[in-house]
Structure 1
Amino acid sequence: MKKLKGAWLKLFQSDNEAWWKRKKKLWEERDAEIVKINGKGEIYQKLRTANAVEYEYLLHLTYLIKQDNHFHREEQVVPYRFQLIDGDIVNHHVIPSIRNQDEIKPIKPDDFREISEVRFSYDRRAAVQYAERWWNSYNPEYRTFDVDCTNYVSQCLRAGGAPMRGAPNRENGWWYSGDNWSFSWAVAHSLRWYLAGSNQGLKGKEVESAEELIPGDIICYDFQGDGRWDHNTIVVSKDAYGMPLVNAHTDNSRHRYWSYEDSTAWTPNIQYKFFRIGE
């Protein structure tokens, strides 16, 4: 693959000009700039057909961002696919993720409400440490999903001491056990409603703005604005202006600006929910 050696970033930018402009604008609006970007690709699958060779690879992007006198590093891993025909790279594109990886049940907040009140002490530091440790890898103690964002966030919450309950009924509570788990553990839509409705153990207090969140809190995303919640992230830090930076799985990301305006999934109809955990 000599053609790709050292050319990962150039290939990515040439195929994503609109995205690149949107990402730069996102930080310019925050009085910040991307002062350096690096890209490294790692091929993990090769498939030979009659007319071409198809490759799938992970592109690890690293951005150095300067905001006032503050610097932070953002990282992102994006899965790509391309074909090699007669030595030329063609059909180079992002590998799309499935919108929801599990069954979607019609869930309402009251489905999770309990009369009893059980409190727990949420260890935010432990949750964030876990999020940093596993942002671009997978804990072998848990199953890995094709769409892994909610599974990853649930693991972070569990590392922070959130108690599991509801097994073995997948439609109840929030839990993971061996080869089984609740919908709320692994499905973005279900976790959003669980956090809103739970009155014991793990629960979330909805706040009005992202600025009110602190490390260890959760953001939920409805990219299409159609009521089906697609994605979850965990807050791990703040930028120089006090706005959340988040970690996530699926397109693995570290210290990404919370709004996801630089995502290919973003639309003008996007909706957010902001949850303080353990209060």
Structure 2
Amino acid sequence: MRDALQASLEKRINGFVAEKAERLMDEKDERKIQACADRNAVIVKTYARGKILRQQFSGERQAVLYEVHFQHLIKQKEHLYLEEEVEVREANFQRGMLEDDSEVVPDQLEAAFSADAASLEMGARERLSYVYDRRKAVQYAERWWNSYNPAFKKFDVDCTNYISQCLHAGGAPMRGYPNRGQGWWMRGNNYSYSWAVANSLRWYLAGSKTGLKAREVGSPDELIPGDVICYDFQGDGRFDHNTIVVAKDANGMPLVNAHTYNSRMRYWEYTDSSAYTPKIKYKFYTILDESREWL
């Protein structure tokens, strides 16, 4: 009897996750269609798949952690590309009846680590030359966009950690260990603020004189694959998110990959994101090495 009841609950929950994926796709498509129309692109096909990640039982209560994987085939002029995004959600059931269902919002790493420009080392005497291999940085971004390299520590808010890994895969050298407020590095479970905190990486890119260096440019169309975009969603001067450019669309504008809310080949502007506000500000950084330092 108990096994039959359990099987019935499992079937109901699986049905809920599949149905929720379809509803979320419809909601997301409303924003996505407008965002595409603004740049003369259209959605050719959409697909959403729900997957249960974890279930916990407590008496007659059941908590279900699940993800929804969205895919949008987008056509712009004669170009086709696949944009992907993953949303993690949690649903709670009582005796098999849904009580609540909501998106899982990661804890804000920024609140725990508040390094700013004043605490970062901007002019170290050491000089670390390197050639930035953009192809390898993009290959890494594509390989790990929806998974996590076990060689590195994983964060709940993982966007900047992921971008740092991509830059390092492209050849950018670490420096500054073991001072967390200096340089840009990760070693084991220890790391600099600039490696893992969005606002700190933004300041580091703006001021680093050795090792990993960047130059701010005025518009996104100046970026090329392997470059970085920083996002201040609230427009309050504190940057919340970072992405890496992996391709350009038919109009020469960036398509980006990101972690935390894992996404691939997403249009850089994020106007279809739930985090978007009209106050949003962006910073555009092209990565420098010995071959591009004076361009």
Which secondary structure does the structure 2 equivalent of 1:194 belong to?
helix
Q: Superposed, which structure 2 residues align to 1:1-279 within 5 Å?
A: 1-3=10-12, 5=14, 8=17, 10-12=19-21, 14=23, 19-100=28-109, 102-108=112-118, 111-114=121-124, 118-278=128-288, 279=293
Letter in 2 for 1:100: L
Question: How far apart are 1:173 and its partner, in Å?
Answer: 0.4
Given that 2:25 and 2:47 are in contact with CA atoms closer than 8 Å, whether structure 1 keeps it comes out as no
Deviation at 1:179, TM superposition (A): 2.0
Q: Following the alignment from structure 1 to structure 2, what is the Cα–Cα distance between the partners of residues 17 and 133?
A: 28
- Structure 2: runs of 5 or more not aligned: 1-9
Residue by residue over 1:68-93, the C-alpha shift from the partner in whole angstroms, topping out at 9 and shown as x without a partner, is: 22110011111011122343434221
Does the Cα contact within 8 Å between 1:39 and 1:62 map onto a contact in 2? yes
**Amino-acid identity (%):** 51
Aligned-partner residue type, residue 34 of structure 1: I
Q: Indicate the structure with greater helix content.
A: 2
Q: Is the 8 A contact 1:108 1:193 kept in 2?
A: no
Q: Which amino acid letter does the alignment assign opposite residue 37 of structure 1?
A: T
Contact 1:109-1:197 within 8 A present in 2 as well: no
Q: Deviations over 1:194-253 (max 9, x none)?
A: 000001110110000111100000000111111111111000001111110000111111
Match of 2:69, as an amino acid?
H
Tell me how far 1:45 sits from its aligned partner. 1.6
Indicate conservation of the 8 Å contact 2:119/2:182, yes or no.
Answer: no
> Post-superposition, which runs of at least 4 consecutive aligned residues in structure 1 deviate over 3 A?
3-10, 12-20, 85-90, 108-111, 114-119
Q: TM-score normalised to the size of structure 2?
A: 0.88
Aligned residues of 1:61 and 1:76 also touching (Cα < 8 A) = yes
Task: Classify the secondary structure of the residue corresponding to 2:117.
Answer: coil
Q: Could you state the TM-score of these two structures normalised by the residue count of structure 1? A: 0.93
What SS does structure 1 have at the residue aligned with 2:115?
coil
State how far apart, in whole Å, the 1-side matches of 2:71 and 2:207 are.
37
Higher mean alpha-carbon deviation, 155-164 vs 89-98, is at 89-98
Query: RMSD of the alignment, in Å?
Result: 2.1
CA contact (8 A) 1:109 1:196 kept: no
Once the two structures are superposed, residues 5-64 of structure 1 have per-residue CA deviations (whole angstroms, 9 ceiling, x without a partner) of 576565245458665422210001111111211111221121224553111111111111
Structure 1 regions of 5+ residues with no counterpart? none
Which protein is bigger by CA-based radius of gyration? 2
Distance across 1 between alignment mates of 2:40 and 2:126: 47
Moved more, 158-167 or 105-114: 105-114
User: Structure 1 residues 269 and 229, CA, compared in 2 at 3 Å: closer, same or farther?
Assistant: same
Taking the aligned partners of 1:153 and 1:222, their CA distance within structure 2 comes to 16
